Structure 1
Amino acid sequence: MTIAHDPMNFLKDVTVRLSIELGSTQLPLRDVMALGEESVIVLDRLTDELLDVQVNGRRIARGEVVVQGGRFGLRIVEMEGHAPLSPSAAPAAADAPAIAAEGML
């Protein structure tokens, strides 16, 4: 009898930093210091663009925002190095596993 053993199994418990990048911008410090309630910061990403999923600062996937149980989540649409899912092949947002976000970036 042969027991299949994954030689990388010991890495599965290593904690990494997963982040979702909504967008970014550059501002002069005077503009940052002038920010207050009701301020709006325009980001470099369009509303219909996929968001970057990063692990320890390296992009591993792209996805779209979903809402599950009153919380933000992210549905993975494409993994780095893989072809994106076609709309017909993508699971519905309610069926897809989502990564719960602790807050907006």
Structure 2
Amino acid sequence: MSENADPVPNQEIAPVADSEASPAFEEFGSDTPAVDPGRNGPLTAVNEVPVRVQAVLGRARVPVGELIRMKSGMVLELDRRVGEPVDVFVNNRLVARGEVMLVDHALGVTLTEIVRQDG
């Protein structure tokens, strides 16, 4: 792990299997909604609770002076290489890793690993 990356304790990575796939991670454009707000179940009350989701491509640590001198077209080198998975955080908690993809001219992330937090 690079010294620039924030450590995430107690994580176990498991590949996503088709049989384990959660409906919340359905493919964009699917005819079936990921969450059915009309369904009467134990989680109905939380279906509309907003959460913050971040897909982190990488991190960099630079002095403020260097950041201020950056101009359009300059490159800020991140701690990840092309093809490495991106981290997916929900409410600042690492929950998955995935690959960047293009969906109708917008960036998206396909989940490839679910990160299980122990303890």
TM-score, normalisation: structure 1: 0.67
Count matched residues: 77
Matched, 1:68 2:67: no
Return 5+ residue gaps in structure 2 as ranges: 1-39
Return 5+ residue gaps in structure 1 as ranges: 82-105
- CA deviation after TM superposition for structure 1 residue 37, in Å: 0.8
- Compare relative contact order (CA 8 Å, sep 6+) and give the higher one, 1 or 2: 2
Q: What does 1:48-87 correspond to in 2, within 5 Å?
A: 48-81=83-116
Matched, 1:27 2:55: no
CA RMSD of aligned residues (A): 1.3
Moved over 3 A (4+): none
Post-superposition Cα deviations, 1:14-67, rounded to whole Å, max 9, x if no partner, equal 001111101111001110110111110000011121101111111111100111
User: Secondary structure of the residue that 2:102 maps to in structure 1?
Assistant: strand
TM-score, normalisation: structure 2: 0.60
